[in-house]
Amino acid sequence: MKTISRIIVFGDSIAYGKWDPSGGWVQRLREFVDVTYNLPTAQDIVQVHNVSIPGETSLYLKTRFESELLPRLLGRNNEIKSSAIILAIGLNDICHKNARHERQLTQSEQQENFLTLISVARKYTDNIFVLGFTPIDQEKTWKSFPLFENQFLSEDVAIYEKKLADFLLSQSVVCVPVYNLLDASTFTDGIHPNGEGHDVIFEQVKSALINSNCI
């Protein structure tokens, strides 16, 4: 049963839909919501807003989060509409800068940023979801981005993904797991999922929203 009027996604290039001609998993979610709930006879439609920016980190999202969230929550009479907020960020926090010697953010810094984002989100809703990290294909990334100064290490992603899941559990926030559901065949360049990969992420997010009685 639908209980919300807004789904707002804050993410990085994966949530943005980079390299997927069909627009990524958020576009799939929007299309599902449209055909399921936004019928001509619907009295209150569900709006899906994708506020994702390629390259986004948890640190930079903090600077824009509330200012971009609040306008999308408002109804015609400036009332706060019921919502679900999805955070699909964190992978860029892990990349090594300057020839792989230093991560963008430590685990503690990343968790502190997520804590801030969650605290702000809870001012407006209890329906908060965090998309778990997608794996990477390290061999592909180094071939796809040979001149890119920031690089990812597979072992880092695995470690941070587990730590983030444990942290979210301690905060009673739903973590939507995808790490073990994707493999090398579901990526274009080693970082960004292809259409098949986005299908998997969409199904996981949809299930999480349904299981939480949001849609």
Give tens-digit pLDDT for 71-89. 999 998 999 999 999 999 9
Rounded to an integer, what distance in angstroms lies between the CA atom of residue 197 and that of residue 215? 22
In a domain, 1, yes or no: no
* CATH at 190: 3.40.50.1110
- pTM of the entire structure? 0.94
* pLDDT above 60 (res 99): no
Find the domain containing 71 and state its range: 6-211
pLDDT digits (tens, 9 = 90+) for 36-53: 998 877 778 899 999 999
Least trusted range by pLDDT, from 36-45, 53-62, 136-145: 136-145
- 47 vs 139, higher pLDDT: 47
Average pLDDT of the segment spanning 98-113: 81
In the chain, the number of structural domains is 1
Cα distance between residue 173 and residue 86, in whole Å: 11
Query: Is the pLDDT at 106 greater than 80, yes or no?
Result: yes
Helix (H) or strand (E) holding 26: helix 24-37
Residue 134 is encoded by which pair of tokens? 């997608």
Element containing residue 144 per DSSP (H, E): helix 138-144
Write the CB contacts of 170 (distance below 8 Å, at least 6 apart in sequence).
none
